[in-house]
C-alpha cells in the first residue's frame, strides 16, 4: 500500500550520531521509550551503546519526531547491517509509514554498504510485515526484553 499522500508536513532526514543535536537525541530517546518501554510495557535499557555508531532516520511532522529507524553497520550487532528501533507515532499508524521507513532503511543500507543483506530482530507479531519486505525468518522465536522476537534476514 503506498504512503498516504494526504499526510502533510512530513520531513525525512538521515543523520549520523554526530549530526544529531542534543534536543534531537533527547527527543529520539524519549520517542523510542514512549513506544517500546511505556506503550509495550517492556522494561529494558534502550540506550544499548549502538546509537553512536548508527545512522538515524528521523521522520518529523511539525518539527516533532513521529517516526524513527536506526541503521547499524555490519559487524557491530550482526555480520550484516541491521535496521532496528523502527517506530511510528500511534496517531500515524496504518498509513504505510512503517513500510516507507523500512524501505528507506533497506535502500540506505544498500547505498552505503553495497549489499542488500540485512539482519533484524523482529517482534514476532510483525513477522508478516517484514516478510512483505523480503525478510525471511531464521531460527526459533526467543524472548527479548519480555517480548517474543525472531531473527529475520534479507539476503541480497
Domain locations in the chain as residue ranges? 10-154
pLDDT given for residue 8 in this prediction: 67
pLDDT given for residue 2 in this prediction: 45
**pLDDT tens for the 156 residues of the chain, in order:** 444 445 567 999 999 999 999 999 999 999 999 888 777 777 777 889 999 999 999 999 999 999 999 999 999 999 999 999 999 998 888 888 999 999 999 999 999 999 889 999 999 999 999 999 999 999 999 998 888 999 999 997
Burial readout 111-149 (b: 16 or more C-beta within 10 A, e: otherwise): eeeeeebbbbebbeebbeebeebebeeeeeeeebeeeeb
φ, ψ for residue 117, nearest 5 deg? -80, 135
Tell me the three state secondary structure of residue 17: coil
- Report the alpha-carbon distance of residue 68 to residue 87 in Å, rounded: 5
pLDDT given for residue 40 in this prediction: 73
CATH class of 10-154: alpha beta
Pairing of strands 136-144, 82-88: unpaired
CA distances from 54 to 40, 74, 97, 116, 145 (A): 24, 10, 21, 17, 21
Could you give the maximum distance between any two Cα atoms of the chain, in Å?
41
Amino acid at each position: 500500500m503506498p504512503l498516504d499522500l494526504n499526510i502533510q508536513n512530513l520531513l525525512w532526514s538521515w543523520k549520523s550520531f554526530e549530526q544529531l543535536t542534543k534536543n534531537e537525541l533527547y527527543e529520539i530517546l524519549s520517542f523510542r521509550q514512549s513506544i517500546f518501554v511505556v506503550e509495550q510495557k517492556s522494561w529494558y535499557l534502550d540506550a544499548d551503546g549502538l546509537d553512536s555508531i548508527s545512522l538515524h532516520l528521523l521522520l518529523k511532522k511539525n518539527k516533532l519526531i513521529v517516526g524513527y529507524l536506526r541503521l547499524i553497520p555490519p559487524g557491530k550487532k550482526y555480520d550484516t547491517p541491521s535496521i532496528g528501533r523502527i517506530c511510528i507515532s500511534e496517531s500515524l499508524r496504518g498509513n504505510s509509514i512503517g513500510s516507507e521507513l523500512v524501505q528507506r532503511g533497506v535502500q540506505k543500507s544498500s547505498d552505503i554498504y553495497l549489499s542488500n543483506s540485512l539482519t533484524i530482530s523482529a517482534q514476532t507479531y510483525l513477522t508478516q510485515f517484514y516478510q512483505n519486505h523480503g525478510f525471511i525468518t531464521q531460527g526459533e522465536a526467543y524472548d527479548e526484553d519480555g517480548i517474543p522476537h525472531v531473527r529475520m534476514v534479507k539476503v541480497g
